[in-house]
Amino acid sequence: MSQAVDECGVLTIDGPSGSGKGTVARRVADALGWRLLDSGALYRLTALAAMRDGVRLDDIAGVSAIAAGLDAKFDVADDGDERILLRGEDVTAAIRNENCGELASQVAQHDEVRKALVGLQKSYRKPPGLVADGRDMGTVIFPDAGSKVFLTASPEERARRRYKQLKEKGISANLARLSIDISERDKRDATRAIAPLRPAADAVQIDTTGLSIDEVVALVVELVRDRLSQPQL
């Protein structure tokens, strides 16, 4: 789609967990001076808020109401680390654990929950630009984005990265268990009826297995700059 409808630059980065999306999205957003939307965090916050409010995850209307009124704030702490607030409370560590990711994947199956989060996700689109990280950013939320990337990596590599990430955060993890959980979650995300994980037809696919974060960031930044420099149709 033409860049003309995309006055505020939008780059979508979709892919399965452990593909490096989150880190790449943050680094690319910094390099371009654009805002960042971590859409997975919104599903994680919805699941966490539902648990805290005693709403069962199969109560779709209840979970959707929580998603529609989600009070989420994304901040950067003094040490440069991300800080995610739910109703004013710092829940950064709580939403990053694997259990919360699993619960997020469950609530994300429901069309009503997904619809309840559409407006919030779109509200992040503000000049000079937005890097949107998720599963359906290029296919559903920002189909007219000027640049789209779909990141993949082998399942073994993704489990290893997740393991390293969790260890670094002081969260205990088991590599074999992680590997199984990741493939189950991928399967659920890719086969669900609504907004399944899949590359947009016009996304550039990058296999990050064997590439460093720096290499992937450089590739993606180059892609966006290239697209921005193309004459608008």
Kindly tell me which of 3 and 103 has the beta carbon lying closer to ligand DC: 103
Kindly tell me which of 55 and 108 has the beta carbon lying closer to ligand DC: 108
Kindly tell me which of 16 and 129 has the beta carbon lying closer to ligand DC: 16
In three-state form (DSSP H/G/I as H, E/B as E, the rest C), the secondary structure along 126-144 is CCCEEEEEECCHHHHHCCC
Residue 38 Cβ, how far from ligand DC at the closest point, in Å?
A: 7
Residue 174 Cβ, how far from ligand DC at the closest point, in Å?
A: 18
Query: Which residue is it, tokens 């609504």?
Result: 194
Residue 230 Cβ, how far from ligand DC at the closest point, in Å?
A: 27
What token pair was written down for 116? 């309840």
Kindly tell me which of 6 and 189 has the beta carbon lying closer to ligand DC: 189
Kindly tell me which of 25 and 55 has the beta carbon lying closer to ligand DC: 25
Residue 174 DSSP symbol: -
For residues 227 and 223, what is the distance between their CA atoms, to the nearest angstrom?
A: 6
Residue nearest to ligand DC (CB): 40
Rg of the chain over Cα atoms, rounded to whole angstroms, equals 17
For residues 125 and 160, what is the distance between their CA atoms, to the nearest angstrom?
A: 33
For residues 118 and 167, what is the distance between their CA atoms, to the nearest angstrom?
A: 33
- Residue at 148: amino acid letter: K
Residue 135 Cβ, how far from ligand DC at the closest point, in Å?
A: 4
- Residue at 91: amino acid letter: V
DSSP three-state, residue 86: strand
Q: State how far Cα 230 lies from the chain centre.
A: 27
Residue 92 Cβ, how far from ligand DC at the closest point, in Å?
A: 12
Residue 39 Cβ, how far from ligand DC at the closest point, in Å?
A: 4
12 within 8 A of 137, measured Cβ to Cβ? yes
Query: Where do contacts with ligand DC occur on this chain (CB under 6 A)?
Result: 17, 39-41, 43-44, 101, 104-105, 108, 134-136, 185, 189
Kindly tell me which of 187 and 225 has the beta carbon lying closer to ligand DC: 187
